[in-house]
Amino acid sequence: MKIGVPKEIVSGEARVATTPEMVKKLRAKGFEVCVERGAGKLACYDDAAYDAAEAQLVDAAEAFSADLVIKVRAPTLEEIGNFKQGAVLCALLEPCENAALLARLAEAGVTAFAMEAIPRTTRAQGMDVLSSQANIAGYRAVVEGAARYVRFFPMMMTAAGAARPARVVVLGAGVAGLQAIATARRLGAEVEAFDVRPAVKEEIQSLGAKFIELDVGESGVGVGGYARELTAEAKDRQQKALTEYLKKANVIISTALIPCKAAPVLITEDAVKGLAEGSVIIDMAAANGGNCPLTKAGEVITAHGVTIVGFTNYPALVSTDASAFYARNMLNLLSILVDSQEGGLIFKDPSQDDISRAAMVTHQGKVLYQPPQT
């Protein structure tokens, strides 16, 4: 069975779907691996390393014509034309926003697995791309905030005077938020965090941060451990309570997302106006509309004296390790998609496993994807 690894062409994407180390493991399992020339360059994996791992270096068309294509980002509609009938695709497909893509994949006879649809269960942890990449994003977001903040993160005491530690507020305590809390604490900041799910209070406190308790009148716990969208009344109460709290922050790391919904507005313009000049907002929800209405996706702006960072792909800024984590997730996923028999490797029936069944968005000419209930 042949695996194809095309080069990512989305602007700003520096990751690659597998690494030379994982190529060796895939080869040991009996796969042929075809890597497009230059696919790993931006992640600091050169062609020579893939060649040494016994991958075949090919052009884009040949990588896409493999039995199994693994990518980080979704293919373009044009790239789908290179897939062969019955091929399998594994990638971050953003199925909520990509109905046309899913329809084209189904039309092409491709069985596609959306990596973001891997269920968050104990058995699926090793395949959970969203968690592995969110961990990296949470770390990198804090580094970005520390670099752009005009003062120290830790308390500093010198012969020239003393500086108080930065006050960092993290909004959202999912995987990215918890990593942001841990990283900011390691850098010596005072950290507080808010989440609409009361159950995360203990996790926040275990990392040395203070849990911000706001009574919004209802729980924000959704399906599968994700947050759900609050009612309009609860949103209003949340915004008003948070606005006054946020004005005391020096750096805000905002991570709040709701599956298949626009990001909730947590940082109002009034809150931004109340921040001290030189404060920083890292809006990690920028790609989904932003937790701050002033955020501009993909840009860094200054509004009311506050730096607002709207980067949309933090893992790509740590592309070497992000690729390594992604490649390991992919290797683990292939263990439930492919079986070894006397005649070689074959695809298993994906409907017979709860993980592959949940992640499968197209199969046998049909679009199977159903948006999650929040």
Catalytic residue among 67, 128, 195, 283: 128
Active site residue 120: yes
Contact 347, 330 (CB under 8 A): no
Active site residue 340: no
Q: Rounded to 5 degrees, what angle do the CA atoms 90, 102, 264 make?
A: 90
Number of other CB atoms surrounding residue 97 within 10 Å = 12
Catalytic residue among 46, 125, 205, 351: 125
Contact 204, 195 (CB under 8 A): yes
Contact 76, 10 (CB under 8 A): no
Active site residue 131: yes
Catalytic residue among 47, 65, 219, 226: 226
Measured distance CA(262)–CA(178) in Å, rounded:
21
Measured distance CA(283)–CA(289) in Å, rounded:
10
Q: Three-state SS for 165?
A: coil
Active site residue 128: yes
Contact 349, 89 (CB under 8 A): no
Catalytic residue among 120, 205, 206, 339: 120
Catalytic residue among 131, 133, 279, 323: 131
Number of other CB atoms surrounding residue 34 within 10 Å = 23
Strands 251-254 and 167-171: parallel
Active site residue 283: no
Distances (CA, A) of 354 to 194, 332, 350, 351: 33, 15, 8, 7
Q: At what angle do helices 319-337 and 129-148 cross, to 10 degrees?
A: 170
Measured distance CA(114)–CA(324) in Å, rounded:
19
Residue pointed to by tokens 């706001």:
214
- Residue 168: φ, ψ to 5°: -105, 130
Measured distance CA(34)–CA(76) in Å, rounded:
19
The alpha helices in the chain, defined as continuous H runs, are 20-28, 47-52, 60-64, 77-80, 99-107, 129-148, 175-186, 201-206, 232-246, 269-274, 319-337, 354-359
What are the catalytic residues? 120, 125, 128, 131, 226
